[in-house]
Amino acid sequence: MAPPLVAGGGLLLAAFLAFSLAASSANAAVSYDHRSLVINGRRRILISGSIHYPRSTPEMWPGLIQKAKDGGLDVIQTYVFWNGHEPVKGQYYFSDRYDLVRFVKLAKQAGLYVHLRIGPYVCAEWNFGGFPVWLKYVPGISFRTDNGPFKAEMQRFVEKIVSMMKSERLFEWQGGPIIMTQVENEFGPMESVGGSGAKPYANWAAKMAVATNTGVPWVMCKQEDAPDTVINTCNGFYCDYFTPNKKNKPTMWTEAWTGWFTSFGGAVPHRPVEDMAFAVARFIQKGGSFVNYYMYHGGTNFGRTAGGPFIATSYDYDAPIDEYGLLRQPKWGHLRDLHKAIKQAEPVLVSGDPTVQSLGNYEKAYVFKSKNGACAAAFLSNYHMNAAVKVRFNGRHYDLPAWSISILPDCKTAVFNTATVKEPTLLPKMHLVVRFAWQSYSEDTNSLDGSAFTKNGLVEQLSMTWDKSDYLWYTTYVNIGANELSKNGQWPQLTIYSAGHSMQVFVNGKSYGSVYGGYNNPKLTYDGHVKMWQGSNKISILSSAVGLPVSFPQLSLFMPLDSKLFVTLVYGIGAHVE
């Protein structure tokens, strides 16, 4: 009889532990189920907006956060920018525009939650994707893969941020505003090109993050194979097609793109608010419970934080709050009204899944029912992009403009339609406050300072500058014999191939122009005739980088200047210089 008693005891212990874990989960300040995040025992429809603290000034933060709250937001979302916080390995910076703790506390003071996207890879059109440059030169490192040196550095920084948030009591269970955290960023699509180390790395990142015991859910955006302990989420212009990879996870949209970033030489993007509102209502009507506007305030890429190459300093993003902190109307006001309509139906929206009724060829009704089975809230949708229509629902008629959704919080009254904009268009008036003074600096191309050195072959620009400067001089000499010059006075042709991003060309101290790439094609070629003489000729190239790459796998392979100079003389006689 002894062995059965031991086995029975083991079963009782296992049952007790399972009950304890379940009770702990139920009592957690933030948990989740199939329908939504659960905060202090209450399911929530959460409207969030991205405001990146380094892309505005600390003086702007209170006003931006208040405008977000007035616009109907519940949550402020931000990345954590590793290269801003640890520009030198082991030396941390959390002041001025990088005062993360102050920013999170201001959100708390305003009565808003925070979604902290620790990454630490962020993309975000931010220089080097948020990675500090020194990381590239850690011996044996390979970014975002199953690589020991990279994982060690990543874990150290993630744990640093989590520890800081805990010590400041900023997680929700501590009385703080942080209800959710994110590890990595949009890594799922990269797994197919990341080799054998990609999937093990993604699993490791999830487990490492969960092991930090933040006490709030972790998410991984665009990560279809996110482990059971992590919620996979959607990013995009539309996410109504999205379904999480497990039935017990809520449907969440971590980046609803309000516009797009601006590149040098490119058009300034614009997304109509009618389409933005339609996308959000479409997501909510299908059971979505968390929407984050990326961006709600885009701000400015101050200093040299713009990534690239060729991302502009403005990160306005056509967001509801513009680059300068002013309301963009009618976008801000129309979305505010959308949020009010959604919130009127919040209790019933999170109580169960919708049923779908066909109202026509392009028209549908998404109906949320009360416990007794009666219609409690409804979304009436017209998916036709060009034609308005009148539909009949529950014995009443409703007019639906093309490509629009009407929200009926009580299943009767349409309180909001996504295509009916009532907020007037207001253009801000800009007034000159300070006159800017410009300074120019002269630099002799024929002189080299004490930092100059000679080497056969080319040197990677980033390995020299460590991103402390955008500029690097490359100099070489070409000796031309008496018989190599053209007898008809035609100058030699100089051709330079470069991986970018821009260059200015000087020969014997004289400028022969400049050339630059662009966002879609950063590589460039200089081709021109230059005056040379018999004897030694000095070719000087001022190379400049216009933002470091932000995406994988280019991060690991980055060489901002990989130039070869070909000096071709007339009559086919020439010199090849590398």
* 21-74 pLDDT per residue, tens: 333 344 458 999 999 999 999 999 999 999 999 999 999 999 999 999 999 999
- Looking at residue 189, the DSSP 8-state letter turns out to be G
At residue 203, φ and ψ (nearest 5 deg) are: -65, -40
Give the contacts of 443 (CB within 8 A, at least 6 positions apart). none
With bands split at pLDDT 50, 70 and 90, how would you rate the model's confidence at 554?
A: low
Q: Are 182 and 117 in contact (CB under 8 A)?
A: yes
By C-alpha distance, which of 341, 342, 339, 384 is closest to 364?
384
Beta-bridge partner residues of 498: 524
So what's the pLDDT on residue 440?
A: 87
CATH 2.30.30 is the classification of domain 461-570: no
Q: What is the pTM of this model?
A: 0.90
Please check the confidence at residue 535 and state whether its pLDDT lies above 90. yes
Can you read off the two tokens belonging to residue 421? 């904009």
Residue intervals in the chain for CATH 3.20.20.80: 30-351
Can you read off the two tokens belonging to residue 20? 């304890």
Beta-bridge partner residues of 221: 233
Please check the confidence at residue 386 and state whether its pLDDT lies above 90. yes
At residue 447, φ and ψ (nearest 5 deg) are: -120, 145
So what's the pLDDT on residue 28?
A: 58
DSSP 3-state assignment of 531?
A: coil
List active site positions: 186, 255
- pLDDT tens per residue, range 164-186: 999 999 999 999 999 999 999 99
- pLDDT tens per residue, range 203-259: 999 999 999 999 999 999 999 999 999 999 999 999 999 999 999 999 999 999 999
- Looking at residue 532, the DSSP 8-state letter turns out to be -
Please check the confidence at residue 544 and state whether its pLDDT lies above 60. yes
Percent helix, percent strand, percent coil in the chain, to nearest 5: 25, 30, 45
Residue intervals in the chain for CATH 2.60.120: 461-570
CB atoms within 10 A of CB 7: 10
Please check the confidence at residue 577 and state whether its pLDDT lies above 80. no
156-163 average pLDDT score = 98
So what's the pLDDT on residue 572?
A: 37
- pLDDT tens per residue, range 86-103: 999 999 999 999 999 999
Please check the confidence at residue 308 and state whether its pLDDT lies above 90. no
CATH for the stretch 30-351: 3.20.20.80
- Looking at residue 266, the DSSP 8-state letter turns out to be S
At residue 101, φ and ψ (nearest 5 deg) are: -60, -45
